[in-house]
Amino acid sequence: MIRDFPLPDLGEGLTESEIVAWRVAVGDRVELNQIIADVETAKAVVELPSPFAGVVTALHAGEGETVNVGAPLFSCDTGEGASAEPGADGPDAAAPAAPAASGSGTDEQVAEDAPGPNLVGYGAAAESGPKRRARRSALAADLVPALPAETVPQADVATAGAAPVAPATPSERPRSTPPVRKLARDLGVELAAVHGTGERGLITRADVEAAASEMQKFDGQTPETKVVGPAEGGAADVRIPIKGVRKHTAAAMVASAFTAPHVTEFLTVDVTATMDLVRSLREDRAFAGHRVTPLAVVAKAVCLAARRTPDVNARWEEASQEIVQFASVNLGIAAATERGLVVPNVKAAERMTLVELADAIGELATTAREGRTRPADLTGGTLSITNVGVFGVDAGTPILNPGEAVILAMGAVRRQPWEHRGEIALREVMTLSLSFDHRLVDGQQAASFLTDVGALLRDPARAMTMV
């Protein structure tokens, strides 16, 4: 019996997704819940599991193509008499299917060897442990052949100072994140031939770009770039397709900028006490294993200040002509990733202690960098923070996330002369930039919120009076 598998709604309200990479080919036997493709939405790369077992009879889209939700993705013969083409059965062909279960499995199950979780409410529970790793490693070995030695000469790579290229162990899947795998596919680089310079041999973006640079010396081409006329001196313009996160971010920022009347206020604060607090917590054994950062302290201050000025934790609803003040703070944290800017959010952040908030922010940042952010973490934000200080920037005028009333930018911490207790002293100083939607937040409300945040950073003990 031939069954078509339509592309499901990935839970983000999006109507299409791009096929990043197929994990199977026509004729392959797949098991229940086996990962069949990496699919990129506008915000994250998701591993798509098969909802049934059988033999793949057709792939209805190629890598790099966009598929609409509900359109057929692949077809599978699920009949008892189904058999793969000669030689198509891999080591996992006879493996029993994973038992069906509701939900998507636990984070622990997917954290060991998968860059992303199963889809919520879709497919069977993920397998975990050595069995699953062995099956996926074997599948990857079949799908990713080693790059011929003549394609990337080892001697030339070493001469250019690039990362050395060496074939991967046949039974071992090259270690990389979904964004790096996509970049490798776009640049025509076989990951099995790239030596990873990251932690525990992880293949990084720089490793892939170095390998692609060496390849260009011999063929001068990359699949995803278009060279436009050589400029003077031999350089050439490059055209990069607008898609994925960049396309979504552009559309969201344009919609926000031309819908909400933006206003930005600034406040420069002496944060010496905050930095002393951060340093003391890092040195305290009681907080070993928890990384409390200035961002976490700012996040806690924002949650406390929002309680005093609820207008900033709200949304303007044009259709109903209402202002909705949220009962909870879903705190968005802007994260710069290899795929572009994403803003996952911490649900009910106001209920968390400082340490809990620091752990949650750290987890969001890690999953965002690895391309494993869950769709649920990318929706439902009520107000956001962006840390431009990590890039050495003092202040800015951030654009609101659509549907949110404010966004706070925290600048770099600078040690500079400052008035302290009637004298000039070297203090640690930060500039806060608050952009707000002037339709529902007035200047006075924004100023009250901003000064409350500043007061908490100037004297963290003041938080005791606001709890």
pLDDT-based confidence at residue 20 (cuts at 50, 70, 90):
confident
CB 192 within 8 A of CB 147: yes
Instruction: Give the model confidence (pLDDT) of 304-315 as tens digits.
Output: 999 999 999 999
In order of start, what are the domains of the chain with their CATH numbers? 2-139 (2.40.50.100), 154-227 (4.10.320.10), 245-465 (3.30.559.10)
pLDDT: which is higher, 162 or 175:
175
Instruction: Give the model confidence (pLDDT) of 184-225 as tens digits.
Output: 777 777 777 787 887 777 888 888 888 877 665 544 444 455
Give the largest CA-CA distance in the chain.
Answer: 87
pTM, whole model, 2 decimals? 0.58
CB 448 within 8 A of CB 309: yes
Please say if the pLDDT value at position 84 is more than 70: no
Mean pLDDT along residues 126-148: 41
What is the CB neighbour count within 10 angstroms for residue 412? 16
Instruction: Give the model confidence (pLDDT) of 217-227 as tens digits.
Output: 544 444 455 55
> 3-state DSSP call for residue 463?
helix
178 φ/ψ angles, rounded to the nearest 5 degrees: -55, -45
Mean pLDDT along residues 16-43: 85
Indicate the DSSP class of residue 403.
T
422 φ/ψ angles, rounded to the nearest 5 degrees: 80, 5
Q: Give the position of tokens 């006490």.
A: 273
Measured CA to CA, the distance from residue 138 to residue 92 in angstroms comes to 8
Q: What is the pLDDT of residue 359?
A: 95
Measured CA to CA, the distance from residue 419 to residue 424 in angstroms comes to 5
pLDDT: which is higher, 282 or 17:
282
Q: What is the pLDDT of residue 89?
A: 42
pLDDT-based confidence at residue 164 (cuts at 50, 70, 90):
very low
Average pLDDT, the chain: 77
192 φ/ψ angles, rounded to the nearest 5 degrees: -65, -20
pLDDT: which is higher, 435 or 5:
435
Measured CA to CA, the distance from residue 229 to residue 108 in angstroms comes to 50
Transcribe 228-259 into DSSP letters. Answer: EEEPTTS-EEEE----HHHHHHHHHHHHHHTT
Please say if the pLDDT value at position 458 is more than 70: yes
Q: What is the pLDDT of residue 191?
A: 78
Active site residue 290: no
Q: Give the position of tokens 């984070």.
A: 107
Report the amino acid identity of residue 214.
Answer: E
Q: Which of 60, 262, 290, 438 is catalytic?
A: 438
Mean pLDDT along residues 355-366: 93
Q: What is the pLDDT of residue 167?
A: 43
> 3-state DSSP call for residue 68?
strand
Indicate the DSSP class of residue 377.
G
Q: What is the pLDDT of residue 437?
A: 95
Indicate the DSSP class of residue 254.
H
Q: What is the pLDDT of residue 80?
A: 55
Measured CA to CA, the distance from residue 209 to residue 189 in angstroms comes to 9
CB 405 within 8 A of CB 315: yes
Per-residue burial over 291-308, b = 16 or more CB atoms within 10 Å of its CB, e = otherwise: ebbbbbbbbbbbbbbbee
pLDDT: which is higher, 265 or 66:
265
Which residues, in sequence order, are bridge partners of residue 227?
Answer: 238
Which residue from 313, 292, 316, 315 is spatially nearest to 303, judged by alpha carbons? Answer: 313
